[in-house]
Structure 1
């Protein structure tokens, strides 16, 4: 299925490039024909038969290329997603226990100066940061700081 879809996408891209090339050739031929005629009534056939269809082919080529590149990107994302879904963990119970375990369990609360969240000391967002300081209870009471959604320090107070 993947190969058939990529073939279709690649043919759309080739058709887009061909339409662009044909449109450019027609525009050049139309310009050449118009430039050789002095009177406007003799220039109109070149405009009608070459330049206008050439411009339309250029627009069609751009649309085909845009659609083809979008479809190619979609096909690649779907392929990556299929690879991601296909790689399941060996032991589903261990992964379920790891997902259920809390990310941070420390009782110490920290914040980053100028930040808007307060965290547990072992939260990955503040762990190892030299600029993290203990939480100022006035900021929490005023509502200027909110609990971190990752380590959920509000549970420590309950």
Structure 2
């Protein structure tokens, strides 16, 4: 799917750059022709044949580049979405969350100076040497709140 989308995007980008370059060349030629003529009636053919079409090509090239880059970004987002959908577990539905908690240990730990208490196997405190057992007085007084990741109060009540 990605290669098909990118094959249609790259020609648009090339067309945009080509239109920009051609428009710039025409504007330079028109300016050069106008600068060599003293009278306005002799300058009009250069304006009509070079400068106005050159400006139109510059605008068209800018539009093509904007569209091409947007399509390229959309192709990348679709590719990332495809990878995300492919990585979704087969046994869970798209709107369901895992029923098992992230951590299941009954031991509670806290980091000194922290405001949360955690299960011992919570990823936020697992492997930290400074984590100490929780004092029950701190939990009862409300100084420590439950970790929103491992949810120790929900399973330990």
Superposed CA offset, 1:60-90 (max 9, x none): 212211221221222233234334434676x
Runs ≥4 residues deviating over 6 A: none
CA contact (8 A) 1:109 1:153 kept: no
Deviates most, 62-71 or 129-138 = 129-138
Cα distance in 2, alignment partners of residues 126 and 104 from structure 1: 11
**4 and 156 in structure 1: CA distance in 2 versus 1, 3 angstrom threshold:** closer
2:15 corresponding residue in structure 1? 15
Cα distance in 2, alignment partners of residues 28 and 12 from structure 1: 24
**Unaligned residue ranges in structure 1 (runs of 5+):** 94-98
CA contact (8 A) 1:112 1:126 kept: no
Superposed CA offset, 1:14-64 (max 9, x none): 221121111111111122122223455644543444334323322321221
1:32 corresponding residue in structure 2? 32
Three-state SS of the structure 1 residue aligned to 2:142 is helix
Cα distance in 1, alignment partners of residues 49 and 148 from structure 2: 65
Cα distance in 2, alignment partners of residues 47 and 30 from structure 1: 6
**3 and 108 in structure 1: CA distance in 2 versus 1, 3 angstrom threshold:** closer
CA RMSD, 1 decimal: 3.5
- TM-score, normalising length: structure 2: 0.68
More helix by share: 1
Cα distance in 1, alignment partners of residues 88 and 18 from structure 2: 43
Three-state SS of the structure 2 residue aligned to 1:100 is coil
**117 and 36 in structure 1: CA distance in 2 versus 1, 3 angstrom threshold:** farther
1:124 corresponding residue in structure 2? 123
**Unaligned residue ranges in structure 2 (runs of 5+):** 93-97
Superposed CA offset, 1:104-152 (max 9, x none): 1233132474x664432321123223455556727x725xx65332211
CA contact (8 A) 1:25 1:54 kept: yes
* 1:41-80 to 2 correspondences below 5 Å: 42-80=42-80
- TM-score, normalising length: structure 1: 0.68
